[in-house]
């Protein structure tokens, strides 16, 4: 399943990387845009004029450093292309079983390795079952 720029858009777990905001570079682009706006509008100067409590104060240098980091590194080429967490239990299992993705597995409904994905991606298991039927 090749996608944009030849990238395999479906992760082992069934996540469509082109719809993931790390995979499609939305987070990276937004971080770069925000970093530029903060600098171009001189927001660090405005910050000093707004009455705020001590627990609301922060360092604009650290904010800029964090946004620059996100712009550079918050990009995932997809787990089938070396992205994602290297120790992902889903990826490790699928590779060991030589599966293109988890739709090839008969244990989708009971797989505990996918539990950590359920909260953020509640439809993954159903999507994998649909892929299996195709």
> Residue 119 corresponds to which tokens in the numbers above?
């909260």
Q: What's the average model confidence in pLDDT over 81-107?
A: 93
Which whole number is the average pLDDT over 101-118? 94
> What is the pLDDT, as a whole number, of residue 82?
85
Report the pLDDT value the prediction gives residue 8, as an integer from 0 to 100: 61
Q: What's the pLDDT at 84?
A: 84
The span from the CA of 41 to the CA of 114, in Å, is 44
| pLDDT over 90, % of the chain | 70
In the predicted model, is pLDDT for residue 4 greater than 60? no
Count CA atoms within 13 Å of residue 25 on its CB side. 7
pLDDT tens by residue, 9-62? 889 999 988 888 988 999 999 999 999 999 999 999 999 899 999 999 999 999
Q: Which of 103, 113, 126 is nearest to 1 (CA)?
A: 103
Structural contact between residues 7 and 95, judged by C-beta atoms closer than 8 angstroms: no
Partners of residue 8 on adjacent β-strands: 2
Higher pLDDT, 102 or 17: 102
pTM of structure: 0.70
To the nearest whole number, what is the mean pLDDT of the chain? 89
């Amino acid at each position: 399943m090749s996608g944009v720029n030849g990238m395999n858009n479906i992760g082992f777990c069934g996540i469509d990387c082109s719809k993931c905001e790390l995979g499609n570079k939305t987070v990276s682009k937004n971080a770069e845009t925000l970093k530029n706006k903060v600098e171009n509008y001189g927001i660090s100067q405005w910050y000093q004029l707004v009455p705020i409590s001590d627990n609301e104060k922060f360092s604009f240098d650290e904010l800029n450093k964090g946004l620059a980091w996100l712009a550079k590194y918050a990009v995932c080429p997809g787990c089938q292309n070396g992205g994602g967490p290297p120790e992902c239990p889903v990826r490790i299992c699928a590779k060991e079983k030589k599966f293109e993705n988890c739709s090839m597995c008969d244990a989708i409904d009971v797989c505990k390795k996918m539990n950590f994905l359920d909260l953020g991606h509640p439809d993954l298991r159903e999507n994998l079952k649909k892929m299996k039927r195709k």
